[in-house]
Amino acid sequence: MGYRSTMDVDTSSAVILHLEKLQAEIEKLEYLNDIVFDQFGRVAGIEDREACNNYDDEKLAELVSKYLKAGSIDITYAGEDGKNWGWRVTPHHIQELKMILVSEGEPREVK
């Protein structure tokens, strides 16, 4: 995408290989928030860079897919204009996520 946005990551089912190498590769990407992993490959936090425009969101997904041994990771973004998007990452594959609105329940009459 490429504008000011926030990033969230769900790694609940992920098994990541060579964690230190992945972390070093992530730090090389420009205009992207850093994902910080703990020793077990779970997200320990997301560090905002000064210019966190997340231009490299697709590159990040591709990079993580190369280090993912099993499971999946969802990387999602919320833009300043209210748009939401993301990537589902599995070993050596990425799939773009589109967020949609779904109504819940029956319409309620208002008087």
What's the pLDDT tens digit per position in 80-101?
Answer: 788 888 899 999 999 999 888 7
Q: Is 9 part of a structural domain of the chain?
A: yes
In a domain, 109, yes or no: no
108: in domain: no
pLDDT of residue 64: 84
Is 104 inside a domain boundary?
Answer: no
* Residue 12 falls inside a structural domain: yes
Among candidates 18, 31, 101, which has minimal Cα distance to 59?
A: 31
> Is residue 61 a part of any domain in this protein?
yes
- Give how many domains the chain has, as a whole number: 1
Both tokens of residue 7?
């990033």
Residue 18: inside a domain = yes
Average pLDDT, the chain: 76
Residue 1 has pLDDT above 50, yes or no: no
Host domain of residue 67: 5-98
- Confirm whether 80 is domain-assigned: yes
pLDDT value of position 97: 92
Contact present, 71 and 13 (Cβ < 8 Å):
yes
User: How many other CB atoms are there within 10 angstroms of residue 25's CB atom?
Assistant: 16
